[in-house]
Structure 1
Amino acid sequence: MAVPIGVGDSAPRSLTVLQASPRAFCAGVERAIEIVELLLERQGAPVFVRKQIVHNVHVVRGLEARGAVFVEELDEVPDGATVVFSAHGVSPAVRRDAERRGLRVVDATCPLVAKVHAEARRFAGRGDTIILVGHRGHEESEGTLGEAPEQTIMVETVEDVQRLSVSGPVSYLMQTTLAVDEAAAVVDALKARFPDLRGPDSDDICYATTNRQNAVRAVAADADVILVVGSRNSSNSVRLVDVARRAGVKAYLIDDADAIDPLWVRDAKVIGLTAGASASPVLVSDVLEALRGYGDVKVLEREVAKEDVHFGLPSEVRSR
């Protein structure tokens, strides 16, 4: 546990915690977690989940404690068992494998990720080469690539775009959890290379990613340091750290309150606090409580958007 600095001083240290809003769970994450919880409640353990349901170590541990079993691939799931596909989506090849094995599939893919998959099928169907802007090896991008693997090329940077050799019609798609400004630079480079480039009808980067990044920018204007609650394999959480640092503020990714290094906040008067879309609000509350050990804390909220999005549950777990 982090050891507060200044405890025992004659005068309490004055400290402002500026909370970014929105922060923590988004609608897609809440939906995915609820699906696993309902299956555990109704059919009991074990409930198999391919990959982490969302990229957060505390969420995964909590569901494991209740009987969820997280596997890397479907060959670890017994024939005929129930398996949940994570919020990040899967390729058609994985779906075919599940059908072949007779598995009962409950799909927790975020509807905004499913939208990108549908766009990939549409673009491929009209004969385009698809440029997917994303991070290699990320589960979401792997699933999208699988929709049209022979027609899809992944790029991460402007330099990747410069190296492309493509003829014929070209379209682009994006991973939903990218840093908005970095993704825009890559798309601008694509448009410069391919004047007839076509893209999605609406932004692929999801509303929750955009809102949390905008909130971090708003907090960065006044913060001395920013703490981002989220796990290292959470793309959207890592991007929040990147956004804060590009705004000129020291920023650190922490799984929970125990990960706070006192040296990070020793000289800070204003600490920014936020959380990635896969991190629980409870973890944010725990961090805030830990920060109260560093002085006399005043908590302020900086809200850039209100979120009232809700995604319906799949039919397999919907109340009848």
Structure 2
Amino acid sequence: MTTIDQHRLEQFVGQAVSDMAAAVSGLLVHLGDRLGLYRAMAGAGPLTARELAQRTGTAPRYVREWLCNQAAGGYVVHHPLRDAFELPAEQAAVLAREDSPVFLAGAYEAIASCYSDHEQLAEAFGTGAGFGWEQHDERLFSGVRRLFHPSYAAYLTGEWIPALDGVEAKLKGGASVADVGCGLGGSTVLMAAAYPRSTFAGFDCHGPSVEAARAAAVAGAVHHRVRFEEAAADAFAGTGFDLVCLFDCLHDMGDPVGAARHIRAALAPDGTLMLVEPAAGDGLEHNLNPVGRAFYGFSTAVCTPASLAQPVGLGLGAQAGPARLAEVLAEAGFSRVREVARTPFHLILEARC
């Protein structure tokens, strides 16, 4: 019989209970985001459940129970004398301020979509078949955009592009840029706004995302210099690009080597590929941390199934790490690959022929 270490058992039970509380609270974070509860609390000081309900058009009894959960988790502060609840500025930066570089509510939207897709994912586990990006609950698309956009807004034009060798000068002078796997177009519009002399093309295989990206370009008043087309990463049209970008999408592709090879052929002779991928180390032991846990979760539910649903089905995974990514790029014909930047959530590589 296996001997149970009582202390270790108690420690793990405590961890599992904490994770259980976090799992159900994730649903409530998504609700708070969707219903505007956090936004209504941000900067408002202490509010009673009834006051918050009046501000958001919701029912006080539900709001109070939600607030109690949030207080138990430390997301809001309870003021007993008035039985009121306050969202501190630090929590508001994470939960209510979409322009904050640490805004995370989009992640909970994406996670909610994964719970919705439970049956399809369970079936994929049994068959080994893929589960395509386009088959997911639609909250995945907006959730992923809202998860990554704060980092792009904070770092893309201020740190990542300047870290590339000679690229920013080209963009300021007028260059041709392709954003492959552009999704809803957030990254493309950000670059177009920052570099008004350059032209941009966004490519994505998901038609509804392309339509949304076109609308985003109009809203951002950059549509005269930006075009979006529905096309696969290994089949988009055009050559002579000075810069091609891949934002958090190479690992989702069935044939990342083929996609990178096509990109290499589309680059100008002195062009650059900027690859942005989820932050990871080269071995599992380097990724056994909260960020790695989250990305392995998304990789299991979204990224690996998406790759397996496509031709080749390499299944690179969202925690490939810089060495494995460099191998993929080298196989595609890139001779120079270097890491130019890193954040808690992202790894940025520069690749040249």
TM-score under structure 1 normalisation?
Answer: 0.34
Task: Compare relative contact order (CA 8 Å, sep 6+) and give the higher one, 1 or 2.
Answer: 1
Q: TM-score, normalised on structure 2?
A: 0.31
Normalized per residue, which structure has more helix? 2
